[in-house]
Structure 1
Amino acid sequence: MTATICDTRPCELGEGAFWHPERQQLFWFDILSARLLSFDASGALEWQFDEMHSAAGWIDRDTLLIASETGLWRFDIASGARERVAEIEADKAGTRSNDGRADRHGGFWIGTMGKHAEEEAGAIYRYFDGKVTRLYDNISIPNAICFNPDGTIAYFADTSRQTIWRVALDADGWPDGEPEVFLDLRAEGLFPDGAVTDAEGGLWNAQWGANRVARYLPDGQFDQEIRVGGRHSSCPAFGGPNLRRLYVSTAREGIAQPDAAQGLLYQAESPVAGLPAPRVRA
């Protein structure tokens, strides 16, 4: 299958595609340009920030939880006002947030990384019940944070290591044991970026530099792919009617002379339905 262009606003680093299940509305970020994008029946929507933002969850119909280079914020969609919820590496000018998603227990996982992708400069954190806890250290480019349908497994990647791990979760959504390798993509020369799971437990992984989103079964077996026009596919999200539309953000970053297909938002009809994003308790 091949995706078609959904939104023509080019992003230097499109990321964090997120479907709000109550609003039936898609949001995504252009990290390096410090903006949040969306669209609804009235047309294109856009918010400009004074720092980089990268990922979102939903608190209620009118409020998002958004991650920035200094922490987590309540974001009022109507007014564009932010209220800080928690600091994350606010004292580290050289890092920023990257990939993140809500888990199925009301928590929110978010990765950090060096602004120039410095080796092992980042980490992965979980926000839960008003507290931020660091889960994993020495991450270079955190990505592919997502969760299986019943919330008993978390996935995450380090793009630079070309690996996706999985870890069992306890009844409150905390890691229970050590992560194990789910996908080692080094032999295929693939770099895992953002990911999302579907209703059957399949993991859809956007792969940087590969023009595609690939679906893997729960046992790690490759199943199928959706091709996108943007070379650097970065983050998928299910949305649309019955959650059967797969949206994919892409990036122009690192492309010397990007053509008109780069950095756009794409969409394709999926053969498998997605799952609604769970609410964040904040």
Structure 2
Amino acid sequence: MEVEVVHGHQCELGEGPVWDSKNNVICWVDILNGEIHEYSPSKKNHKIYPVKKMVGCIAVCSDNNFILASTSGIGFLDRETGKIEYVDNPESHLPGNRFNDGKCDPAGRLWVGSMSLSEDANSGAVYAFSNNENDLKIKNTTISNGMAWSLDHQTFYFIDTPTQTVVAYDFDKADGNIKNKRVVIRIEEKEGFPDGMTIDSEGMLWIAHWGGWQVTRWNPKTGEKLLSIKFPAAKITSCTFGGKDLKDLFVTSAKVDLTDKELQEQPLAGALFVVKDCGYQGAPGFLYNI
């Protein structure tokens, strides 16, 4: 599979790619530089929305704007004006934490995880946000990362990176409740740390590997690894499907904390990559329900 660079911009900590199917643009964040990026593959147009605070994730709303989670909490960004209105902060009492990965569920709630800036164990949590209220879903996480929902919307998949696992929960779409946690995938340390995640049209999970130079495809029913795609950067952070018919795989990466020697060895670190027409098709993502 041929890996291409989508755009020349390189992030310090690129994360959270989201395909906006209405506008046909790929969106992602640079967490540490506090920026939201938007790029149109057809128009070759790159836009940056400055958040000016560490921004862990974004999602597209049903009104076409962004919902985001930054160190100031959860808010909405007007894509025409760039203005941000914060409406909630479930961890305002934890200044040593920041938000990390997040995604919308099939009912249009934003699920978002937090973590300690110093990566202290068990200092984070996962919340579901809707109607300007948050609901604590998972306690004592360390580096909350990849999220996905099964095609029948009855299972929630989740990655807490240091555990080297993907866990599954029974998911109730009506109320967002989760239960019956179990491990469905185990990843060896030599493969790198599991980071962001997405799901394809066959119900298989795609996982980005921090420090692993790769994105992998797994069967969550059997725990079997099905495929590995190598990338020219070690710190691969997340992935999503986009483009026409959701057949292009977009992949974010990071260059944070790389030495000069490492940067010379991987000059594309921090870039947004794409594998066009990768042979698989994504499952459509979910909008935040306004």
Q: Calculate the TM-score normalised by the size of structure 2.
A: 0.92
Which residue of structure 2 lines up, in the alignment, with residue 252 of structure 1? 255
Do the aligned partners of residues 223 and 49 (structure 1) sit closer, same or farther apart at CA in structure 2, a change above 3 Å counting? same
What is the alpha-carbon distance in structure 2 between the residues aligned to residue 255 and residue 32 of structure 1? 14
Deviation track 1:214-240 (CA, whole Å, cap 9, x = no partner) reads: 000231211112221111100101111
What is the one-letter code of the residue matched to 2:184? F
Which residue of structure 1 lines up, in the alignment, with residue 107 of structure 2? 105
Which consecutive unaligned segments of at least 5 residues does structure 2 have? Answer: none
Deviation track 1:160-208 (CA, whole Å, cap 9, x = no partner) reads: 1212111011141523423100112146553100000011101000011
RMSD after superposition:
1.6
Q: Is the 8 Å Cα contact of residues 72 and 84 (structure 1) preserved in structure 2?
A: yes
Q: Secondary structure at the match of 2:93?
A: coil
Q: Is the 8 Å Cα contact of residues 146 and 154 (structure 1) preserved in structure 2?
A: yes
Do the aligned partners of residues 281 and 62 (structure 1) sit closer, same or farther apart at CA in structure 2, a change above 3 Å counting? closer
Q: Calculate the TM-score normalised by the size of structure 1.
A: 0.95
Q: Secondary structure at the match of 2:17?
A: strand
What is the alpha-carbon distance in structure 1 between the residues aligned to residue 249 and residue 136 of structure 2? 31
Q: Is the 8 Å Cα contact of residues 206 and 214 (structure 1) preserved in structure 2?
A: yes
What is the one-letter code of the residue matched to 1:264? A
Which residue of structure 1 lines up, in the alignment, with residue 180 of structure 2? 178
What is the one-letter code of the residue matched to 2:272? L
Which residue of structure 2 lines up, in the alignment, with residue 237 of structure 1? 240
* Number of residue pairs aligned between Structure 1 and Structure 2: 282
Q: Is the 8 Å Cα contact of residues 105 and 151 (structure 1) preserved in structure 2?
A: no
Do the aligned partners of residues 268 and 61 (structure 1) sit closer, same or farther apart at CA in structure 2, a change above 3 Å counting? farther
Identity of aligned residues (%): 26
Match of 1:115 among 114, 117, 140: 117
What is the alpha-carbon distance in structure 2 between the residues aligned to residue 2 and residue 118 of structure 1? 38
Q: Is the 8 Å Cα contact of residues 231 and 262 (structure 1) preserved in structure 2?
A: yes
Which residue of structure 1 lines up, in the alignment, with residue 171 of structure 2? 169
Deviation track 1:145-168 (CA, whole Å, cap 9, x = no partner) reads: 111122111111111121211101
Which residue of structure 2 lines up, in the alignment, with residue 263 of structure 1? 270
Matches within 5 A, 1:30-179: 30-40=30-40, 41=43, 43-60=45-62, 62-172=64-174, 174-179=176-181
What is the alpha-carbon distance in structure 2 between the residues aligned to residue 187 and residue 118 of structure 1? 19
Deviation track 1:34-57 (CA, whole Å, cap 9, x = no partner) reads: 111112326221122221112111
